[in-house]
Chain A
Amino acid sequence: MRKALHILLSIIVLLSLPGCMDRIDLEDATLSLMVGLDLNEKNELLYYVSSPVFNREAKVKSEEYGIRAESLRQARGRFDEIVSGVTLAGKIQVFCVGKRLLETPDWFRLMDVVYRDARFSVNARMVSFDGPVHDLFHSSPPTKPRIALHLTKLIDTANRRNVTVKTTMQELHRQMYEKGMTPSITKLDKNKEVKVMGTALLTEKGAFATLISGDETPYLQMLLHGKIGEISLSMPYPDGQQDKKIVKKRISYFVKGVDKKIKATYVDGRFQFDVDMKLRVSISERQFPFDMEKDYVKMEKVIEKEILHEYQKLITKCQKLKIDPFGFGLYARAHAYPEWKKIENDWPNTFAQATVRIVPDVTIKGNGIVK
């Protein structure tokens, strides 16, 4: 009797297992690795998807489709009408927004499903593409792997060298909702080859504000995260009359370590930020003779001056555009809370009035392996 009951129970359990209705076989799935969003001339929303093809008979190993739809969820239904498998969003690596769409306010609302549906991956890299997204999805250079994988790698490695930021969808969500900062995402462009252009700085609402190049991005990154990945900076050595020469006086260095201290105060009706940056650097390239052993202090001063100059340029540019990709607002909240509370909903405008004082302190720790 007891045995019979146990057997019956086991059968019931086994029978209920196939009842898991979410089971999906890999060959029935279309894994979207890259999703694109764009706006055409008639202001209609376009959705693109790129997914790998796992089939021996298929010649091309990746499929790309673009359709018109009004929301991401609707687009998924349309894709299911075309692709062979069930479109899945759990593996997205790159999320691309076209230039035209990025200029419209409130495009971020289109992303709602990404954050609402638990099965969406939120670790995809956010990319802004200069031009029609169609071009990006339908470019498959013969020397490159599947376009989605190529872009993933491209962005990750570019970020490792700090020529662009790596803003995931989750990070974008944070930057959009955080009152004390404005978002920044990777910017791509394509002429013949897809190319990382640097970083797109967005306004509070998410619209495109400006582009900073790959040379400027390390400065943003250092202020945001300190030292992550490899930071290599290069600068002309200020020595006059060098424009005519072919071999210019340039110096390059690695940043081995960054210690930043940001202090916010409220003085005379405006916020003031004192950024104390201690940089440990190592010279990696010097295209002119220089007596480092004797004059290293002079060299440190030159580098400090250049860093200060770069930061001033960058910050003035941002203040003019009323954006704060550096997150100074976070420090305003941390150190001057009562004043912050008054203006927290109007931070970009307040930041435009703020004073930012950057004090770089450079120590040369290494000079390479030759004199």
Chain B
Amino acid sequence: MKKYAYNEITVMQYILLIHGTQVGIGMLTMPRDLAAKAGTDGWISIIIGGIMAMVVSLILVSAMKRRPEMSIVEILQLLLGKWLGKVAVLILTLYCLLAAATIFAYAISLINVWLLPQTPSFIIVLLFTIPAYQVIQGGVRILGRYSELVFYLTLWMPVVLITTWPKMNWVHLLPVIKEGWKPILHATQSTVLSFLGFELAFYLYPFLQKKQYAAAGIVVANTLSMLVFLSVTIFCFGFFSPDEITQFTWPTLGLWKVIEFRFLERVDIIFLAFFLFILSTTGFPYIYFTVFSTSQLLGHQDHRRHLQIFLLLIIIVGWLYTPSFSDLSKLVDLWGKIGFIFAYAFPVLLSIAMLFLRKTSVGQKV
């Protein structure tokens, strides 16, 4: 009898859940960060970053394969014993919480800058929490369906972006590899944060219906995200001058601002409204797995009570405190650093530990 029989996700949902978690705030700032570090060679860094993410993803999936029915919460307790395991899960939960909080705060400040500068942020928080509750209370299956739906809903974006093609100056991209590989490798760091999200496969794996596609699925998800980042970055590099692009905080939005149709000006406003959906597919899984872990830790079956408390806390925090833009960039930096440990170092460690685990359990049988 499968443990998550009523909450399984299809391979498509699994791919788009991971993809949705990856494509988030990084998409807006990435071209600027890359241009500042590696000039217009920054797109090469995305490919390197993508390959790194794929390799680690595969290690992660191979680790999870050894205990296919177990969630990471149970695996950690099995590995480290009851108490130490709980501490490890708590750390993991805090990481998810950090990610969720960062995305939430970022989304709200973005609306405050671009769309509604006069509206107090706690009202936006309030409006955010309601759809968040409705989606997340349904569990992984609803989350998966939601991510899939949002993916289809945003398929028009690349088509509209293509309309900027005649304004591109591809000569900006030359010469390829201007200053050698050093700045390119240096800039790869900035792409790390954007590829974060595949580490949620730790949580997602037990829910996956057809586990034989887990490895292929995660590679597809990473490739998809890589293509999105690549296209956005290359378009920004083509449009903005290499000397100019570092002047923008969100070059991607600047690019959308230029698009204009006879029947519609300010396409960026519409893009931003849709971008909130994209951001929600980044934030919701983190929120879900925060409350999922805490409810598992406390031995509760239903995560909804925890979700209610969590969202209530977010409203209260949003009411009491609005992060400034420098707080936000610190938060994003922090997430990037900690995320690097959780997404890249942790799977490798876990994979080694799992190897060890199998040997001892085989030994016990004998």
Chain A residues with a Cβ under 8 A of chain B = 9, 12-13, 16-17, 19-22, 90-91, 115, 118-119, 121-123, 168, 170, 173-174, 177-180, 228, 327, 330-331, 333-335, 337
Tell me the minimal C-beta distance from B237 to chain A in angstroms: 12
Which residue of B has the minimal Cβ distance to A337?
B175
Tell me the minimal C-beta distance from B38 to chain A in angstroms: 14
Interface centre among A19, A118, A179 (most CB of B within 10 A): A118
Chain B residues near A179 (CB, 8 Å)? Answer: 243
Chain B residues near A12 (CB, 8 Å)? Answer: 126
Whether the Cβ atoms of A174 and B119 lie closer than 8 Å is no
Given A174-B241, A337-B175, A20 and B130 contact (CB-CB distance below 8 Å) = no
Whether the Cβ atoms of A177 and B247 lie closer than 8 Å is yes
Sort A-B residue pairs by CB-CB distance and give the 5 closest, nearest first.
A334-B174, A177-B244, A178-B241, A21-B118, A19-B123
Q: Does B363 contact A (CB under 8 A)?
A: no
Interface string of B239-280 (1 = CB under 8 A from A): 011111001000001100110100001100000000000000
Tell me the minimal C-beta distance from A20 to chain B in angstroms: 5
Q: Does B172 contact A (CB under 8 A)?
A: yes
Please name 13 pairs of A and B residues whose Cβ atoms are closer than 8 Å in the assembled complex, sorted by A: A9-B130, A17-B127, A21-B116, A22-B115, A115-B247, A118-B257, A122-B258, A168-B258, A170-B258, A180-B241, A327-B169, A330-B169, A330-B172
Given A20-B123, A330-B171, A335-B175, A121 and B116 contact (CB-CB distance below 8 Å) = no
Tell me the minimal C-beta distance from B99 to chain A in angstroms: 26
Q: Does B178 contact A (CB under 8 A)?
A: yes
Partner among B113, B119, B242, B244 whose Cβ is within 8 Å of the Cβ of A173: B244
A303 and B204 alpha carbons, distance in the complex (Å): 69
Which residue of A has the minimal Cβ distance to B258?
A170
Interface contacts (Cβ under 8 Å), in number, total 77
Chain A residues near B171 (CB, 8 Å)? Answer: 330-331, 334
Whether the Cβ atoms of A22 and B119 lie closer than 8 Å is yes
Q: Does B114 contact A (CB under 8 A)?
A: yes
Partner among B123, B175, B247, B265 whose Cβ is within 8 Å of the Cβ of A121: B265
Which residue of B has the minimal Cβ distance to A181?
B241
Whether the Cβ atoms of A19 and B166 lie closer than 8 Å is no
**Residues 145-188 of B at the A interface (beta carbon under 8 Å):** 166, 169, 171-172, 174-175, 178
A16 and B128 alpha carbons, distance in the complex (Å): 11
Tell me the minimal C-beta distance from B252 to chain A in angstroms: 13
Whether the Cβ atoms of B114 and A228 lie closer than 8 Å is no
Given A16-B126, A330-B169, A330-B171, A174 and B118 contact (CB-CB distance below 8 Å) = no
Whether the Cβ atoms of B119 and A21 lie closer than 8 Å is yes
Interface string of B23-39 (1 = CB under 8 A from A): 00000000000000000
Q: Does B117 contact A (CB under 8 A)?
A: yes
